[in-house]
Structure formats: C-alpha cells, structure tokens
C-alpha cells in the first residue's frame, strides 16, 4: 500500500477548527474541577443548543470512536470489547467506545474524559443508539438518563403527531432532566438566542456545500466535508465561534472558486478535476488518508455526499427557527438523513447527482452501520435506472481495521474509474 | 391420530406454508376482507381484526426456500431474514396482501419498509414506530396515533370504519388467545414432556397465519389434551432460550435443543404472540387507549424496548427463576444488533448470579445442527452431572 507522506496544507479555517476542538477537550478535562456538568449524546439529532442553554458540555461517543479510529487506537479497543462479551458482528462504534471506557476513558487527545452527569439518548435515525446507551447506562450507573425518541419519517414527511410527541418529550422529560442535573431553570429566551446563531450557521453550511456545483469544485464534499460538518456536529452549533468559523470557511472556499482552484487534500490541491462523484455512506476512519488518496490520485472529487447530512439535512430548506424553539429542535432531529425513508434518500441523492452534475455515484457500504447499509443496493439500482449514471460499490467499516482491505477497495475503484473514463470517451465521440 | 396429533400436523403444515394459503382462502370468502402482513416482533393484531382484516405474520423463508434474488439486495454482513422476505415478495408469495406493517425493531427492518415502498408491494407499506417513551400522555398518545393511521389505511382499502365495540370484541379474542398460550406455558413449566417444544412452536406459529377464532379453537383442544398426563418424563434440564425474537431458527435447530437434553420452558421465539402480559382489557370506551396502555405497562422484556428503570437482565433471570430453569440458552441470529448487543449484559448478570448459560449464533437457513447439539448437549450434561439443584434457584 502506498503510504502518503506529503505534509498537509493548512488553511486558516482548519487552524480555527483545531483550536475549537482542542478547547472543548480541555474544557472537558477540567470540567470536574470547574464544576461544569457533562452530557453524553449522539451526533444525529444532537441538541447542541439545549446543552449550551444549560451551560453544559457535550461528549459524543461516535466522535471519540472515529477519532480513535483515525489515531489507530480502535483495533485494541474493539478487541477489548469483544473480550468483554461483544460479538464480532455488531457495530464497531459501540465496541470502540466501550473498549475506550474499559481502558480508563482516555479520550482521543490523551486526556481523560469526565464521566457523564447526564446521558441524553437522542435516538435519531439509528436503532443501535438505543442499545449503545443501554450499555452505557450500566457503565455509568450514577448518571441521570434522558431519552428523546425521534419518530422515523416513514411516510416521507413529518406529521403533527410526530412533532407533538417530540415536543412533549422535550418539555416533560428532557428539559426537566437538564434542570435537575444543571441546577438551572430552563430559559426559553436564551435558547432562542442560541438558535438564532444556529440559523445563521445553517445558512452558511448550506452555502458552503453549494460551492461544489462549480467546475472545478473548490471543495471535496465527503473527505473534507467531514471536517466542515465537525463544529456543527460536536457541540458548537449555536455559538458565535461557529458562526465566525463558517464565515471564514465560506470566504476561503469562495476565494478558491474565484481562482478556479480545486479542493485541498492532504496530498495537496487537486489540479485537474477528472471525475465528479456523489458518495453515499460514511467513510472509513482507520485508513482515512489512504482512502482519500485513492480518489485524489484519480482526480476524483466528491461533489456531494449523504454522510455530511447525517447531523442534519439543510439542502431541502430546513433552518432552525428561534421563534419556535422546541418545535424547531424536534423538526431538526426528524430531518437528519438516516431518519428519512428510502424513497426520500433516493430523491435527495438524485437531486445531488443532477444539480451537482456528477459523473458517477459511489456507495461506501459500512459493515457496522445498518442504518445506512440496509437497502443501499436497492438505492444504487434505482438511481442507476432512473438517471443512467455509472455506479460503484465498495465495502469497508467505520473503525474496525479488519474490514478495510486496501487492495480490494483499490481494485473496485480502479474498475469504477475505468468505467467513468470510458463513459467520457463515448460522450465526446 | 388423536385430536392433538391432528392439530399439530395441521399447524406444522400451516406454519411453514410460504404461500399463506389459509390466509388467502379466508380473504377470498369476502371482498371486504383484507390481509395485512407484519414482520416481527409485536403488532396489535386486534386493530386489523376489527377492520375486517387478518394480520399475517411474515417470518422470512427459513430453510424452506433457496434465496437467490434476495441475496442481491443485501450485503453479506446483514442478517438473513430480510433476504427471505424480499425473495417471497419478488416471487409473488405475498401477492394478495393488501398492506404491510414493519414494527420498529431495528434499522434493517426499518429500511425494509422503504424497500417495500419502492417495490410497490401492497397498497401500503408502513414502518410502525412503537414509542420508547412510556407515559400514557406522551408515548401512549403517539402510539394511538400510529394505530389510527393503520386503521385509516385499511379503511381506504375496504371502507370499514372501526367502532369501539368492534375493537373490544377483537381485543377479547386476542386476550383469549394470549391467555391460552400463557396457560400452555404454565403447564409445560412443570410438565414439559406433555408437549414437545417443537410442536408448541408449530402451534404458535400457525396462529400467525390463520384467523384467531380458528386458532383459539385449536388452543382449547391443546389445553384440554395437555391438562392430563401424557408422554414420558425424561432426564433433561430446563432452559429458557433468549435472543431469537425476530429471525427464526429452522425447526431442526429448535428440535435439536430439546434433543440435546433440554426442555425449553420459556423462550422468545415467537414473542409477539405473547407480548402483552395479562389481558389488554378494553370495554372502557377507548379500546386503542387500552391497547396502548397494555403496551406501555405490560410488555414482556425485549431487546427492542428501551429498558430504563426496568433492566432486561434482571427480568430475564427473574423469568428463568419463575420457570425453574436450570440454565439459559442464548441463541441469536448472526448480525442481529439488538440481540447481540444485549448479550454482554446478560452474560455478566448470569456470571454475577452464578446462572449457567450457553451461547451460539445461527441463521434462519442454518443446515448443520451437529455442533450445536454437541454444545448444548455438553451444557445439559454438565448441569445434570455436576449440579444438584436448579442453577437459577
């Protein structure tokens, strides 16, 4: 396997993000001594604004797991979770997180994470979240527990009953738990103020991802996209820092677009955009850079991806509404990508393929994640039939390196790119 | 044949009839009748019954049908049952069904509902979200709305407007069904040799594909027959089987567990048929509220119900103690997140309380039982030979 060695180019927004994340982990490391309360919760349907409204700090077990994967720590954590009784068959995010706890709960930055004061189960778009939290509850028996059940958009829409169910849960179950743990009364006006920042952030992130409609695309909306969605998904949505970060990021991207430059990658800028792709499914984290390089080397740019919508879908018009704080939180949760039914997902992916003028559609099917993976082959076939677009299919895992086979993935991608090249030749003949 | 043997024979044939002939024949007798297929685990069948329908359990193709097309829809790391269901749908076995309901138990079944929508199977394909909030005014209200939605969809097909009286009558029939199944389990707890578990499984499974009135008549005869001594007690241990609530093992595997030296005295194989502990009741003018209340307050313990404040490992071990079980058999389908993610919780609790257990995985079309027979046999022998008293005592 070719090991990438080139130094990574850093733009100002990247440095800003790094500082934000490091700041959060420092705050977490000193949370106990500073009397800050800590909430463990999940990315899809995350209630960042509510957590901020109670001055609490968030910990995201999936983020810890993916960071462990990127830092090559996940294999050992997974092995320990399997020794503890977990099957090889189940979600590796769960096993990585449990393995991390069994090893002292030292987070990805090397600092010990505080135990949770509140376990907020935002059960959105992934049934396994519930099972994950049932395991966490046994490991943290002193934590308060709040469950927010997000109904699935099975009919392709949000009904009044779904909205009411969520608002009642927020008002009568979730908020009282926050009040109990934080010792603070819920201040709806304060939440509304935070949501106003979220709305601004929603606009900015939507405009950022829309930049890849240009040719060449100034961004990679999958590999770089996961960094772009970082701040909104790990607790900064609703903060002034997030607004500043996204304003800076948008400025940089617009500048690149104006100069006709391609995306920045760890291997350097993509100088010639050969293929424009839409990708469905999460990335692999254990070999993230090698994985990205496979695309970089072929001049393939991902112009849209479903994974960047896992923490919220903004393309279809959703914006946080400060005038309806609880209703808007409910609608946000229900609008996450994996909470949408299969026909909705196909419509959204088809829209991306068409509007971003993609040359191909690729699925990275993740062994651990049935929420994405079950039905993907049907999605692929449907899009192929409807749009006559070349499709590709590769398989890997989130954080279990045993399921990342470089040569298998490379072979399949090589065939896929050959197909795209052939299609281009035929189109110009 | 004795009446019981005839019932077992009929049920064995109905239970594995992948053409659902009995249900389709029932529907053919009246143009207003509808068939609503549902996947595991629990679905309030009373609701469909009250609307002149029959809720029909769809449990995959098991080891009775080669899966060819279904495999093209799923990656190798996804469980087996949905492949069988897709195969049945594509081969026309489900033609004649008016709608499908997919209860919320996992992401695979959730996305299968979308696949049925895309395939255009039935007049509706509904993913039914069961509440994970257990307060009547929150989760109960939402669940009532979900049931009303099912009724609206059936009404759009057959025009039947369901009354409270009709729902109460349907509830009473299914309450009777559940009560008789509970009575059979209670008899088998002390006299498991009177009815082999394999036979009970077929009787229960047949109840998912036939009118409840007919099934109730059968259960009455079964109860009558096993109320008296029959069969010969054997030197076997008593076990509770857990983890098999959705994808069903082949009948041969179920038979293997008992043949290896066990009596299955409780299980979660067809848990939906016994989901509500006690009666739903009704008769209070709001039957849907009664069904919702039963779900919120009297559901069995299950991997798909959020268990805060009511730990599943405690409930499972309490059940094993109530049944006088000597040990637990954890049998879960491969790649089943809900079942497999629970197992460490169960294992640790068993170890903490000194309860013996054995564990294996299967697929619905597992064809080799020898290894499982040896594993379970060794487990049974170890308890019979080395344990003086029930390990859960």
Tens of pLDDT, residue by residue over B163-190, are: 999 999 999 999 999 999 999 999 999 9
Task: Test A151 with B142 for CB contact under 8 angstroms.
Answer: yes
Kindly report the nearest CA distance between residue B108 and chain A, in angstroms: 5
Nearest to A127 among B110, B146, B332 (CB): B110
Q: Tell me how far apart the 2 most distant CA atoms of chain B are, in Å.
A: 64
To the nearest 5 percent, what fractions of chain B are helix, strand and coil? 50, 10, 35
CA distance B153 to chain A (A): 12
pTM: 0.96
Cβ distance A131 to B303 less than 8 Å, yes or no, reads yes
Whether B138 sits inside 8 A of A172 (CB atoms) is yes
Residues comprising chain B, all counted: 393
**What are the chain A neighbours of B301 within 8 Å (beta carbons)?**
none
Q: Contact, A255 vs A283, CB < 8 A? A: no
Q: Residues B18-27: pLDDT tens digits?
A: 999 999 999 9
Q: Angle at the Cα of B104 (from B100 to B108), degrees rounded to 5?
A: 85
Contact A378 B108 (CB under 8 A): no
**Long-range contacts of residues B307-310, Cβ cutoff 8 Å, at least 24 apart:** B307/A134, B308/A134, B308/A137, B308/A145, B308/A147
Residue A113 in domain: yes
Q: At what angle do helices A128-139 and A92-102 cross, to 10 degrees?
A: 10
A251: pLDDT confidence band, cut at 50, 70 and 90? very high
Q: Who's near A313: CB < 8 A, 6+ residues apart?
A: A335, A336, A337, A340, A348
In-domain check, residue A240 = no
Sign of the CA dihedral B126, B129, B130, B135?
A: negative
Domain count, chain A: 1
CB spacing of A147 vs B133 below 8 angstroms: yes
CB contact B156 to A (< 8 Å): no
| Residue B337 forms contact with A (CB below 8 Å) | yes
Instruction: Please answer whether residues B107 and A371 qualify as being in contact, where contact means their C-beta atoms are separated by less than 8 angstroms.
Output: yes
Tell if the CB–CB gap between A154 and B335 is shorter than 8 Å. no
- Put simply, the answer to whether A90 touches B340 (Cβ < 8 Å) is yes
Is residue A429 one of the residues assigned to a domain?
Answer: no
Of residues A172 and B384, more confidence is placed in A172
Pick the residue from chain A with its C-alpha nearest to B118.
A343
CATH code of residue A109: 3.40.50.11890
A 10 A CB-CB count for B296 gives 19
Yes or no, beta carbons of B115 and A343 under 8 Å apart: no
Residue B126, helix vs strand vs coil: strand
Q: Largest alpha-carbon pair distance within chain A? A: 71
**B303 near A CB under 8 A:** yes
The CA R_g of chain B, rounded to the nearest whole Å, is 20
Contact A110, A101 (CB under 8 A): no
d(CA A62, CA A59): 9
d(CA B301, CA B271): 10
Interchain contact B336–A (C-beta under 8 A): yes
Alpha helices in chain B, H assignment, sequence order: 3-15, 21-28, 45-50, 81-90, 107-119, 141-158, 164-190, 197-206, 212-226, 251-259, 287-298, 312-322, 337-353, 370-386
For residue A265, tell me if it sits in a domain. Answer: no
- Residue of B81, B103, B133 for testing the chain A interface, max A β-carbons within 10 Å: B133
pLDDT tens for each residue of B76-112: 999 999 999 999 999 999 999 999 999 999 999 999 9
Pairing of strands B53-57, B124-128: unpaired
CB within 8 Å: B142 and A154: no
**What confidence score (pLDDT) does residue A6 get?**
59
Residue B89 and residue A113: Cα distance in Å, rounded? 49
A272 domain residue, yes or no:
no
Rounded (10°) angle between helices B212-226 and B197-206: 160
Burial A140-175 (b: 16+ CB within 10 A, else e): beebbbbbbbbbbbbbeebeebbbbbbbbbbeebbb
pLDDT tens figures, A368-391? 999 999 999 999 999 999 999 999
Do A9 and A268 form a contact (C-beta atoms < 8 A)? Answer: yes
Q: Which residues of B touch A82 (CB under 8 A)?
A: none
Q: Determine the pLDDT at residue A5.
A: 57
**pLDDT tens digits, residue range B43-78?**
999 999 999 999 999 999 999 999 999 999 999 999
pLDDT band at residue B393 under the 50/70/90 scheme? very low
Residue A1 has pLDDT above 60, yes or no: no
Mean pLDDT, rounded, for A114-120:
96
B152 vs A: CB within 8 A? no
Residue to test with chain A: of B344, B348, B360, B361, most A Cβ within 10 A? B344
Instruction: Give yes or no for B174 touching A (CB within 8 A).
Output: no
CA B288 distance to own-chain centroid:
22
Q: Does B118 touch chain A (CB under 8 A)?
A: yes
**H-helix or E-strand containing A231?**
helix A230-233
Q: How far is CA A122 from CA A60, A296, A337, A357, A366, in A?
A: 11, 36, 14, 35, 22
Q: Which pLDDT tens digit goes with each residue over A231-241? A: 999 999 999 99
- Nearest CB among B74, B105, B138 relative to A169 is that of B138
Q: Name the burial class of residue B159, with classes exposed (0-12), middle (13-18) and buried (19+) by CB atoms within 10 angstroms of its CB.
A: exposed
Residues of chain B numbered 51-80 and touching chain A (CB < 8 Å): 72-75, 77-78
Is the pLDDT score of A302 beyond 50?
yes
Is residue A227 within a helix (H) or strand (E), and if so which, with residue range? helix A225-228
State mean pLDDT over B255-272.
Answer: 97
Residues of A within 8 A of B105 (CB-CB) are 127
Complex-level ipTM: 0.95
Residue B310, chain A, CB below 8 Å: the answer is no
How many of the other CB atoms lie within 10 Å of CB of A198?
A: 27
In sequence order, which residues have a C-beta less than 8 Å from that of residue A327 and are 6 or more positions away? A163, A167, A321
Minimal Cβ distance to A342: which of B114, B135, B334? B114
Angstrom distances, CA of residue A259 to CA of A217, A254, A272, B222, B234:
11, 9, 14, 81, 84
What is the chain B residue with the closest CA to A382?
B118
Handedness of CA B357, B359, B365, B367 (dihedral sign): negative
pLDDT-based confidence at residue A220 (cuts at 50, 70, 90): very high
DSSP category for residue B139:
I
Peptide bond just before A216 cis, omega within 30 deg: yes
Q: Which of B132, B147, B334, B362 to mutate to test the interface with A (most CBs of A within 10 A)?
A: B132
Instruction: Please state the φ and ψ torsions of residue B83, each to the nearest 5 degrees.
Output: -65, -45
Whether B105 has its CB under 8 Å from any CB of chain A: the answer is: yes
In a domain, A409, yes or no: no
Say whether A87 and B361 touch across the interface (CB within 8 A).
Answer: yes
Please give the helix or strand (H or E) that residue A40 lies within, else none: strand A38-40
- Give the tens place of pLDDT for each residue, A7-41: 666 788 989 999 999 999 999 999 999 999 999 99
The answer to whether the CB of A356 falls within 8 A of the CB of A276 is yes
Q: How far is B193 from chain A (nearest CA, A)?
A: 34
* Interchain contact, A134 vs B117, CB within 8 Å: no
pLDDT above 90 (res B308): no
The alpha carbon of residue A65 is apart from the nearest alpha carbon of chain B, in Å, by 17
Which residues in chain B touch residue A149, judged by CB atoms under 8 angstroms apart? 131-133, 139, 306
The domain containing residue A116 runs over which residues? 23-184
pLDDT at A347 over 80: yes
Q: Which residues are bridge partners to B36 per DSSP?
A: B55, B99
Does some domain include residue A110? yes
Residue of A131, A123, A43, A121 lying closest to A90 (CA atoms) = A131
In chain A, % of residues over pLDDT 90? 93
The percent of residues above 70 in pLDDT, for chain B, comes to 98
Residues of A in contact with B341 (CB under 8 A): 86, 90-91, 94, 128, 131-132, 134-135
Residue A137 in any domain: the answer is yes
Contacts of A45 in chain B (CB under 8 A): none
From residue B224, how far is each of A330, B5, B323 by CA, in Å? 53, 13, 21
Does the distance separating the beta carbons of B137 and A134 come in below 8 Å? no
CA distance B54 to chain A (A): 23
Residue B38 DSSP code: E
Verify cis geometry, omega within 30 degrees of 0, for the bond prior to A99: no
């Amino acid at each position: 396997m070719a090991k990438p060695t080139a130094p990574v180019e850093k733009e100002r927004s990247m440095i800003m993000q790094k500082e934000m994340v490091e700041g959060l982990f420092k705050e977490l490391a000193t949370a106990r001594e500073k009397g800050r309360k800590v909430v463990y919760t999940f990315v899809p349907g995350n209630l960042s604004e509510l957590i901020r409204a109670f001055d609490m700090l968030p910990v995201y077990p999936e983020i810890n797991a993916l960071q462990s994967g990127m830092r090559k720590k996940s294999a050992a954590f997974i092995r320990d979770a399997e020794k503890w009784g977990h099957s090889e068959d189940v979600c590796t995010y769960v096993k990585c997180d449990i393995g991390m706890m069994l090893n002292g709960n030292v987070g990805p930055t090397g600092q010990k994470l505080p135990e949770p004061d509140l376990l907020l189960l935002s059960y959105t778009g992934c049934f396994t979240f519930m099972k994950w939290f049932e395991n966490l509850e046994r490991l943290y028996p002193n934590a308060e527990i709040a469950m927010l059940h997000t109904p699935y958009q099975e009919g392709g829409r949000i009904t009044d009953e779904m909205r009411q169910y969520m608002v009642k849960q927020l008002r009568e179950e979730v908020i009282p738990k926050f009040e109990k743990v934080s010792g603070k009364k819920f201040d709806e006006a304060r939440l509304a103020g935070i949501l106003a920042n979220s709305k601004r952030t929603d606009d900015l992130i939507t405009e950022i991802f829309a930049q890849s409609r240009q040719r060449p695309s100034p961004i990679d909306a999958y590999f770089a996209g996961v960094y772009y969605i970082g701040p909104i998904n790990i607790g900064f949505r609703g903060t002034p820092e997030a607004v500043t970060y996204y304003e800076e990021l948008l400025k940089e991207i617009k500048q690149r677009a104006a100069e006709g430059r391609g995306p920045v990658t760890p291997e350097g800028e993509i100088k010639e955009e050969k293929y424009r792709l839409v990708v469905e499914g999460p990335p692999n984290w254990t070999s993230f850079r090698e994985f990205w390089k496979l695309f970089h080397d072929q001049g393939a740019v991902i112009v849209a991806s479903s994974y960047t919508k896992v923490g919220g879908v903004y393309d279809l018009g959703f914006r946080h509404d400060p005038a309806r704080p609880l209703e808007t939180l409910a609608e946000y949760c229900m609008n996450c990508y994996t909470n949408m039914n299969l026909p909705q997902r196909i419509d959204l992916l088809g829209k991306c393929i068409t509007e971003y003028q993609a040359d191909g559609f690729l699925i990275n099917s993740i062994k651990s994640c049935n929420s994405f993976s079950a039905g993907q082959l049907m999605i692929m076939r449907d899009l192929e039939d409807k749009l006559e677009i070349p499709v590709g299919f590769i398989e890997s895992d989130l954080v279990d390196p045993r399921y990342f086979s470089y040569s298998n993935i490379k072979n399949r991608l090589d065939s896929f790119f050959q197909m795209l090249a052939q299609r281009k030749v035929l189109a110009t003949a | 044949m004795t009446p019981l043997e005839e019932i077992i024979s009929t049920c064995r044939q109905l239970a594995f009839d992948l053409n659902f002939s009995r249900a389709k024949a029932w529907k053919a007798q009246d143009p207003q009748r509808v068939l609503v297929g549902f996947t595991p685990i629990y679905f309030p069948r009373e609701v469909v019954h009250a609307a002149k329908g029959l809720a029909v359990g769809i449990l995959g193709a098991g080891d009775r049908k080669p899966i060819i097309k279904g495999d093209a829809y799923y990656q190798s790391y996804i469980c087996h049952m949905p492949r069988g269901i897709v195969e049945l749908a594509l081969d026309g076995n489900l033609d004649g069904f008016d709608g499908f309901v997919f209860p919320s138990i996992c992401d695979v079944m959730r996305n299968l509902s979308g696949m049925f929508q895309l395939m255009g199977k039935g007049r509706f394909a509904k993913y039914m979200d069961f509440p994970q909030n257990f307060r009547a005014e929150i989760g109960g209200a939402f669940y009532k709305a979900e049931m009303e939605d099912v009724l609206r969809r059936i009404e759009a097909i057959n025009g039947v407007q369901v009354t409270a009286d009709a729902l109460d009558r349907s509830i009473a029939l299914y309450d009777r069904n559940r009560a008789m199944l509970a009575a059979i389990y209670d008899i088998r707890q002390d006299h498991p040799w009177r009815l082999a578990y394999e036979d009970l499984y077929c009787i229960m499974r047949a109840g998912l594909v036939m009118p409840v009135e007919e099934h109730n008549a059968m259960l009455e005869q079964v109860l009558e027959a096993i109320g008296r001594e029959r069969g010969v007690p054997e030197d076997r241990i008593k076990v509770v089987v857990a983890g098999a609530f959705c994808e069903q093992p082949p009948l041969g595997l179920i038979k293997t567990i008992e043949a290896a030296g066990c009596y299955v005295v409780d299980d979660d194989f067809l848990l939906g048929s016994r989901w509500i502990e006690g009666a739903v009741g009704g008769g209070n003018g709001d039957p849907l509220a009664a069904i919702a209340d039963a779900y919120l307050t009297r559901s069995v313990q299950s991997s798909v119900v959020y268990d805060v404040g009511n730990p599943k490992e405690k409930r499972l071990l309490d059940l094993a103690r109530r049944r006088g079980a000597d040990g637990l058999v954890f049998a879960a389908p491969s790649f089943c997140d809900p079942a497999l993610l629970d197992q460490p919780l169960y294992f640790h609790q068993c170890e903490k309380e000194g309860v013996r257990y054995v564990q294996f995985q299967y697929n619905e079309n597992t064809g080799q039982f020898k290894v499982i027979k040896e594993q379970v046999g060794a487990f049974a022998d170890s308890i019979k030979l080395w344990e003086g008293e029930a390990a859960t005592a």
